[in-house]
Amino acid sequence: MQNPLIDLSQTLAETVAIASQSLVAISARKNQYHSGILVDRNRILTVDPGVEMDEDQQVLLPNGEVATASLLGRDPGGDLSLLQLNTPYEAAPVIALADGATLGELIVVVSRSPETGPNASLGMLGALTGAWRTWRGGKLDHFIRLDMPMSAGLSGGIALRSDGAVLGLVSLGLARGAAVAIPASNLHRFVETISSHGEMGRGYLGVGLQPVPHPAGMIVLSVETDSPSAAAHLMVGDVILAIGGQRAEDYGAIQEFLEPSHIGEYVPLRVCRAGNEIDLSIEIGRRPTARRVA
């Protein structure tokens, strides 16, 4: 009778061998390397700190050759970057994205480094929750903590289920002292958005805000000229009590409506102005480059 441990070992070895053919190593800051996934023959998905230059970024391909790539777009809040290979890699395999995960299941992470080539780590899916917002302001569909030993080039590597489907991209920069997987659903959305629009895009209101206790809400400190807030007739001193029917007692409530999916939507506001409550409507704009206000 076949030993089930031998079956498992063979399955994992095959999974690693297949996955390693889609893994690259990317020259990053301070003479370090991060891993990345070949999305197809032209594009590479990696973590945001793994990209140092917009052009002529050095990439070590699975066949050992060194290629160059250019930046297509990035999402610092979600710790993601997408690169375009200057010369297509014809041997790029098609990768399958997982459609779910189970707490406690075995996870294999495959990464690549110039010194050792492919690296594999076996661990467990140690925590799985719903949507969460990273400390950088991005929103991920799930919090997925990976409990496993650290290996070379782990950041930007791929976390795989035992069937070889990609659970997510490994990030070491979104949770202190822990490796997390950026969910496959976020990866797909990011790639599609960058490919279609050239940028991830964030919602934009054009106001400076600060929470106040009474009335509980976000007081308007500044309104930018020609911004969505100016068009909605928000004024300095207004207190936003609710947005989209939800209480607006902190930045989190506002950030929910600055996700890319809300750009172009008209959202109702309940505002306190000079002691009176009034209703306004604001269109969520697309944040201009280098803006720091909401």
Q: What digits encode the pLDDT tens for the residues 73-123?
A: 888 888 999 999 999 998 877 778 887 788 989 899 999 988 888 999 999
Question: How far does Cα 40 stand from its chain's mean position?
Answer: 19
Cα 84 to Cα 43: distance, rounded to the nearest angstrom: 5
The CATH superfamily assigned to 203-286 is PDZ domain (2.30.42.10)
Parallel, antiparallel or unpaired: strands 217-223 and 239-243: antiparallel
Whole-structure pTM value: 0.75
CATH number among 3.20.20.60, 3.40.91.10, 2.40.10.10, 3.40.50.1010, domain 106-184: 2.40.10.10
Question: How high is the pLDDT of residue 158?
Answer: 93
Cα 263 to Cα 90: distance, rounded to the nearest angstrom: 37
Domain with CATH 2.40.10.10 in the chain: 4-85, 106-184
Domain with CATH 2.30.42.10 in the chain: 203-286
Cα 2 to Cα 135: distance, rounded to the nearest angstrom: 48
- The pair of three-digit structure tokens given for residue 34, joined into one six-digit string: 């991060």
Spatial contact of 258 and 177, defined as CB atoms under 8 Å apart: no
Mean model confidence pLDDT for the chain: 87
Cα 237 to Cα 219: distance, rounded to the nearest angstrom: 6
Average pLDDT value for residue range 257-267:
87
Cα 14 to Cα 121: distance, rounded to the nearest angstrom: 14
Indicate the pLDDT class of residue 242, thresholds 50, 70 and 90: very high
Average pLDDT value for residue range 58-83:
91
**274 vs 200, higher pLDDT:** 274
The CATH superfamily assigned to 4-85 is Trypsin-like serine proteases (2.40.10.10)
Question: How high is the pLDDT of residue 212?
Answer: 93
